[in-house]
């Protein structure tokens, strides 16, 4: 019988706060985390708004020289991992470090350092390229640093599947414990892509909202007048454990991670399949893996990007999978408040799912003003709702047609 897997620690970096309590309180209050980036205005960029996280430091975790040799995405990952590990109550001797693994991904990796070092090459010559450039750049280095910091010798690697990265990392961590390859897995993702190249790459492909004069209302998932997503940054990291291991060491269990589904659209590099087939398969697989029926699910944290294609396609997929129950579901897109954190989004959103299960408070989809006939479900518009939630799913869909869905539920003995 497959091992049950539970969540015992969570950590977050986000535009709404850099700890779980601050982040969750902001979500429930429907706060906006989108703001104008002054240097982008000065540069004359077509988009000048983003979900920017407050700066964090990890000088208390690693040597200051090492900290300076990290791209911001890696700093975010270590800071969030420290939160999660601290909450989990690890001690020096428990758990066995040989049985602890790390799968922490990034949708893009060290883009800040890439742009800085490329500029140094062009302006100052090849000798000015840092010998630390490659380890600062690669998307697996956050997982490596976490293992180095805490001495974890278990499975260790990165996942990169665009905006589905965090859910894939978490799902593979779930399976790693079930397979018996580890007792504990540190999982999640981080991205820090508020850079000129990333911003203008997304802007020039017309993926971003251009509501520069109204950042508070720019991200509006499922609203008829949505005009693109708002780019953001952050990290969401978890401690997963086998139930047996967590109970043996007396850990506090936050929720049970019950299922994982994954698929490909096999349709287009950026546009979701119009019939929602990839999302449908991933949701169905997550439910089957969790041994749940559609009526077991009370809440969906939607991918909900605020783009024309995603929101209507995701709505179509939910209707197809859940049938009549789709209209009884509470749904919300927390991207309406955080923006789209790219590879990190699924990790941050699973934190919202766990807190929803714990508290019975469903975060809202803010900025919903004009209904879209093609998006006609209950998106928990504008205000949080109190409602018991025993089980939920979190959807993440990425460029390339990558789909990953997680199912979580309240822990019951």
Report CA 323 to chain centroid distance, whole Å.
27
What is the rounded distance in angstroms from the CA atom of residue 196 to the CA atom of residue 382?
32
CA dihedral (129, 132, 136, 141) in degrees, to 10, reads 150
CB–CB of 389/360 below 8 Å? Answer: yes
CA-nearest of 146, 185, 180 to 169 is: 185
Q: Is there a contact between 15 and 53 (Cβ–Cβ < 8 Å)? A: yes
Active site residues: 163, 303, 340
Q: For residues 74 and 70, what is the distance between their CA atoms, to the nearest angstrom?
A: 6
User: Is 279 strand, coil or helix?
Assistant: helix
**Is 171:406 a contact under the CB 8 Å cutoff?**
yes
Contact by Cβ (8 Å): 318, 304: no
Helices (H), 6-132: 20-28, 38-43, 64-68, 72-88, 111-124
Exposed/middle/buried for 319, CB within 10 Å: 0-12, 13-18, 19+? middle
Q: How far apart are CA 283 and CA 88, in angstroms?
A: 29
> Helix 345-359 crosses helix 165-178 at what angle (to 10 degrees)?
70
CB neighbour list of residue 134: distance below 8 Å, 6 or more residues apart: none
Beta bridge partners of 340: 231
d(CA 16, CA 33): 5
Helix (H, G, I), strand (E, B) or coil at 58: coil
Is the alpha carbon torsion for 162, 189, 182, 7 positive or negative?
A: negative
């Amino acid at each position: 019988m497959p091992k049950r897997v539970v969540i015992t620690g969570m950590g977050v970096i986000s535009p709404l706060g850099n700890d779980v309590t601050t982040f969750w309180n902001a979500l429930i209050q429907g706060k906006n985390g989108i703001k104008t980036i002054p240097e982008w205005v000065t540069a004359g960029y077509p988009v000048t708004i983003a979900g920017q996280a407050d700066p964090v430091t990890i000088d208390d975790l690693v040597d200051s020289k090492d900290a300076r040799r990290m791209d911001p995405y890696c700093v975010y990952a270590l800071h969030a991992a420290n939160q999660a590990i601290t909450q989990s109550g690890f001690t020096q001797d428990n758990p066995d470090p040989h049985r602890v693994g790390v799968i922490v991904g990034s949708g893009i990796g060290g883009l800040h350092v890439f742009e800085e070092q490329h500029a140094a090459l062009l302006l100052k010559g090849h000798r000015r390229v840092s010998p630390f450039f490659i380890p600062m750049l690669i998307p697996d280095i956050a997982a490596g640093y976490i293992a180095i910091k805490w001495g974890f010798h278990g499975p260790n690697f990165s996942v990169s599947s665009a905006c589905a990265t965090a859910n894939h990392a978490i799902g593979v961590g779930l399976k790693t414990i079930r397979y018996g390859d580890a007792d504990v897995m540190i999982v999640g993702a981080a991205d820090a892509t508020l850079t000129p190249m990333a911003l203008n790459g997304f802007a020039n492909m017309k993926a971003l909202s251009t509501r520069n004069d109204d950042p508070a209302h720019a991200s509006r998932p499922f609203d008829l007048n949505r005009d693109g997503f708002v780019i953001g940054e952050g990290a969401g990291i978890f401690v997963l454990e086998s139930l047996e291991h967590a109970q043996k060491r007396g850990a506090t269990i936050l929720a049970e991670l019950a299922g994982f589904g994954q698929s490909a659209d096999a349709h287009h590099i950026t546009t979701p399949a119009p019939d929602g087939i990839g999302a449908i398969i991933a949701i169905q697989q997550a439910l089957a893996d969790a041994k749940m029926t559609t009526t077991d699910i009370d809440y969906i944290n939607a991918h909900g990007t605020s783009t024309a294609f995603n929101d209507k396609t995701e709505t179509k997929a939910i209707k197809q999978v859940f049938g009549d129950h789709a209209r009884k579901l509470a749904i919300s897109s927390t991207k309406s408040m955080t923006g789209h954190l790219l590879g990190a989004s699924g990790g941050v959103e699973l934190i919202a799912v766990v807190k929803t299960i714990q508290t019975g408070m469903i975060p809202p989809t803010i900025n919903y003003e004009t209904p879209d006939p093609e998006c006609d479900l209950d998106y928990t518009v504008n205000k949080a709702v109190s409602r018991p939630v025993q089980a939920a799913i979190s959807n993440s869909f990425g460029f390339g047609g990558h789909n990953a869905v997680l199912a979580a539920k309240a822990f019951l003995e």
